[in-house]
Chains A and B, each alone.
Chain A
Amino acid sequence: MWFFRSPSIIYGEDSISYLNDIPQRRIAILTDGNIVRAGLVQKVRHELPEDAKVLIIDDVPVEPTLSYVSSIKGKIDQFKPDLIMGLGGGSCMDCAKAAFVTYEKPGLDMHDITPLINLDLRKKARIILIPTTSGTGSECSWAAVISEDDHGRKNEFASPEIIADFAILDPVMVSSLPEMVRKSTAIDALTHAIEARSSAWKNPYSDIFADKAVELITSNLMDAIADNENVDAITNVHIGASMAGLAFSNSQITLAHSLGHSLGAHFNIPHGISVGIFLPHVIRFNYSQAKSEYSAINKKFPKSLRKKYLHLTVENFLKQLSMPMTIADLKIPKNEYEKKMDSMASLALESTGTVLNPRDAGRSELEMLFKEIE
């Protein structure tokens, strides 16, 4: 027995207008300053019913912490929303999920957001997520990354109950992404898809979303980067990223994410870059255990990018995008990197991605993979 879970997805040009007819009238929007400055909050407000009351919390940090989520609880409780909206990248959407839980279940320790506990939500509100990047897949996933306050450990809170009720994928929300953000978030999505396809929990549903995600992202990303007005390419990458979110959310990520999370936490590297840098190495490491899956994914890349083996194809793709491939590219001093090796391996060992990797990996294998990007 297993499950397939997904929000209701509204997608394509003008899908934001779905907000015109929602039944909710008290809407708490969690977002950040960049989204406000980009005019996207205004765009969303314009689409909401005229008589809707709106609370805007626009200071969600890049790495939301437990104390940040607690700090906004009072405002949300007082406002009494019947809809919580996460508008932004992964941070804003993850923060909205955590805020949704604390609003619904006052007194619950956020660490208890695990799939092993029945949270019994949706007594007060619903949750809607609108991504403004094409990568995290958070709008489709039942996970939320919230950091500890003191030492930067990233908690991967997960519960099928925090999956959004609705996700809106409108290309207008991602049309003006800076080039590097578009690239790194797409690489994050590509990593989601490839890891979902080879995870120990892979299944026919996740496979089909992973395959299509790889096809949409790799066939359209270059065009989306080259032309901000290429709505078709931008839409395809956006939908592909969301499909990758559905794929990993219904099967789980593996080792590139374990290593990437750990590298990111130790050296403050953006998520898409830190997971992408390990992707070809992890594929090569896993190859003997995931041959048919990797071979199937390799065929989803456009012929112009495809090499004989998936790790070579991915490497080629990363190079064409001028993505960092080594710690030198990330400007991390070698001695500092080596000093933190044990700590990085320990953190990666704790990740569920390590457990669900198709090939068993202990400390020595993790250290070996960390060394491969030196």
Chain B
Amino acid sequence: MYKFPSEEWANAYFEKLNGNADYKDSARDWEGDITLIINADETMKEDAYLYLDLYHGICRKYIFTNDLNKIPKSEFTYSGKFGNWKKLINGEVDPIKGILTGKFKLKGSMAKIMRYTKAAKLMVNTASQVPSVF
């Protein structure tokens, strides 16, 4: 089991995402990095950042940190409170519905990301496959 969010969880996610053939296929033309931002709430004291360099269905690199200055500026950010991330990883919240209901915020070119909703869904599904404790 890996504590979410943590370096160990990020590494396990990185491995699983790169082993997901469906993700690889659905993101085969994708070029762009994204930072997942886990905002502090009453149960988690400090913001956490998971930077993912995604290119043609592969995650080339990840950085996990609590310090925003340690990650490159990314094309997209997807942010939400820790409690909502927990629900997302447990499959209780749909990632797009999460945005539409204000639980998550997405920044970046919407036109680009709307063409890759299948890949986005598979990224979330992959997170759900990482054995997680919160």
Contacts and interface: CB of A to CB of B under 8 A. Distances in A.
Q: Is chain B found bound to chain A in the same assembly?
A: yes
A83 B127 CA distance: 47
How many B residues touch the partner, as a band? 20 to 34
9 contacts: A3-B100, A114-B110, A114-B114, A155-B111, A349-B26, A352-B117, A355-B118, A355-B121, A362-B26
Contact of A363 (B25, B96, B100, B106): B25
Contacts of A155: 111
Contacts of B31: none
B115 A350 contact: yes
Interface string B86-99: 00000000101101
Interface in B72-112: 94, 96-97, 99-101, 106, 109-111
A112 B97 contact: no
B124 to A, nearest CB: 10
Given A355-B118, A362-B25, A2 B101 contact: yes
A53 interface: no
A355 B111 contact: no
A118 to B, nearest CB: 11
B26 A116 contact: no
A226 interface: no
Closest 5 interchain pairs by CB? A111-B111, A114-B110, A355-B117, A362-B22, A1-B101
Contacts of A117: 110
A337 interface: no
B110 A201 contact: no
A111 B108 CA distance: 12
How many A residues touch the partner, as a band? 20 to 34
Interface in A340-360: 349-350, 352, 354-355, 360
Main secondary structure of the interface of A (DSSP, over half): loop
B87 to A, nearest CB: 12
A12 to B, nearest CB: 33
A63 B106 CA distance: 31
A9 interface: no
Given A114-B110, A355-B118, A200 B94 contact: yes
A116 B104 CA distance: 10
Contacts of A352: 96, 114, 117
A232 B15 CA distance: 61
A109 interface: yes
A149 to B, nearest CB: 15
B101 A350 contact: no
Nearest to B22: A362
